[in-house]
Each structure stands twice: as structure tokens, then as C-alpha cells.
Amino acid sequence: MASGTTEGKLDACCLTEYRPLPGTPSGQIIKIAGIDTYHVLGKDETSKGKAIVLLTDVFGLTKNPCMTADEVSDKSGFDVYVPDLFNGDPIASSLLKDMPEVPGENFVGKFVTSIGPWLFNHRQAVTVPIVEKFLQALRSEKAVTRIEAVGYCFGGLHAMLLGGSKLHLVDAIVGCHVSRTTKAHFEELQVPAAFACAQEDNQFSDAFRAEAEQILAHKPEIPSKFLVTHGTVHGFASRPNPDNPVIMKAYTQANDLIVEWAKAHL
């Protein structure tokens, strides 16, 4: 999404998507702490003061995260927010054509070489303060008292940091095909944590998932859950192929997990 978006309107960039989900976003773009943010208003009056925040993958605030926010809000009744973590500088979603869609396919080198310089420009030292500022403003400006952070890929690491002992800025997290995580991130978790996982994921292998499950199993005071979806690879919960019913089923399962976790822990 380009910076300088007119409040209340979705600009053309916000509607651009390599594989767009059907429908039209029903929410609005607002400014929170100067950050362009997609917001869909929850319908459940008893859930006021509670919010779900979606932290996107590297492809940023385009149509699909908005459609996901709409579905999650409709099912949960909560307000849902999607901040632009990259100040109008995401990776182009057209690069998804170089990524695997189903188990057994391989990455194309172009994607890997394209993302390296971008990751440096949007390293943790840059993006974590943006998320911190956003959450602080969400509590002060919108009177939000309970927050579930949902992170996809790149955003998944941020969700874990927000739920960890060093920041502890949210009340629950859901990680969807998280990336760039270590055992320490799981060891430091302090809030209820659920994970929607792909059948095949080079960013979150079966072996590492087993280690993560074992770490959280030794922390019974912190509720945790791992959902492994069938026929999926990294990215299914954020940029699914709407023409593939297996992937769309997994996408819905991930959204249902987000809703279930928010209702249980906010």
C-alpha cells in the first residue's frame, strides 16, 4: 500500500494481488500512530476493548489480508486491524509465481535473490519499533485492552516476539507458517500460542515443529496448540490459491483457529 493513503478509502495498491481472494474488502483504511491500517469493525458489542491484529507476510497490506480480516471479524465479532508494517514498501506479490504452491514443488531462485536486500531494509531493528508504536497507540487511542497478534511468515516472528518475555505486548498469539524462528523464541513465550502449520514448509520443518511442541509441552501454564494442514506449503494461510479447494480448506482452518484462540484467550 502506498503511503499517504486517503483515510477511509482503499487505494489501487490495496486491491492488487497475484492470486486475489474473491470479494471486496468491507473495512476502511485508517491512521493509527501515523501508520496506514486496514480496520474492520466487529459486530459483537460484548467484545469491545478486544482486538485481533494481523501482521502480514513480506507481501504486505494488499487485498488478501483485508479479506482475511473481514472473515476473521465476521466469525469472531472482534475488531480486526492490519497495519502496514513496511511503509508502502512490500515485496511485489507477483513474485509468488516463483514460490511452491503444493508439497513437492521447489523454490525458484529469483524469489530468494530478490528478497535479500529487502529483508535488510525491513530488519527487526526497523519493523519491531513500528509494531510497538502501533500497539501502544491501539491501546491509548482505541481503548483496546486485550490483543491477539496473528503473524504470517515474516509477521509470525513478530507475533512471537510480542508474546515473548522481552516485549510481552499482547495477550495471545497465533502464528501461521511462521519463519525465521528459533528454539529461544518458543522458550521465551509468555502468552497462549497457537500455530497453523503447512504439511511441507522449509521455514518450519517437521523436526523443528516437534522441538517447538516439546518446548511448549514443558510450559503447561501457557496454553498451546499446533494445527498441521493437509496438502499445503508455506503461505497457505495468507496467499492461498482460491482455485485449489484443498488449500482453501486449509486457509479456512487457519482462520477458524485464529477465531477459536481469540475467543478462548481474550
Per-residue pLDDT tens digits for 90-118:
987 766 666 667 787 665 455 556 677 88
Q: Is residue 29 part of a domain?
A: yes
Q: Residue 36 belongs to what domain range?
A: 12-265
Q: Is residue 78 part of a domain?
A: yes
Could you identify the residue written with the cell 510450559?
219
- Region 204-225 average pLDDT: 98
Cα distances (angstroms) measured from residue 116 to each of 107, 109, 121, 161, 190: 15, 11, 9, 22, 31
Q: Is residue 110 part of a domain?
A: yes
Q: Is residue 258 part of a domain?
A: yes
Domain count, the chain: 1
Say yes or no to pLDDT of 148 above 60. yes
Q: Is residue 100 part of a domain?
A: yes
pLDDT one-digit tens code per residue, 16-41: 578 899 999 999 999 999 999 999 99
Adjacency order of strands within the sheet including 28-32? 28-32, 35-40, 79-83, 50-55, 146-152, 172-176, 193-197, 224-228
Cell numbers placing 124: 527487526
Q: At 80, which amino acid appears?
A: V
Q: Is residue 44 part of a domain?
A: yes
SS3 for 211?
A: helix
Q: Is residue 162 part of a domain?
A: yes
Which residues have C-beta within 8 Å of that of residue 114, sequence separation ≥ 6?
A: 91, 95
Q: Is residue 7 part of a domain?
A: no
Cell numbers placing 26: 468491507
Between CA 234 and CA 227 the distance in angstroms is 14
Model pLDDT, residue 92: 76
Look up the CATH number of the domain holding residue 161. 3.40.50.1820
Cell numbers placing 97: 509465481
pLDDT one-digit tens code per residue, 53-92: 999 999 999 999 999 999 999 999 999 999 999 999 998 7
Cα distances (angstroms) measured from residue 223 to each of 32, 50, 134, 188, 211: 30, 19, 26, 14, 16
Query: Could you tell me which of 54, 64, 134, 74 has the C-alpha nearest to residue 256?
Result: 74
Q: At 21, which amino acid appears?
A: L
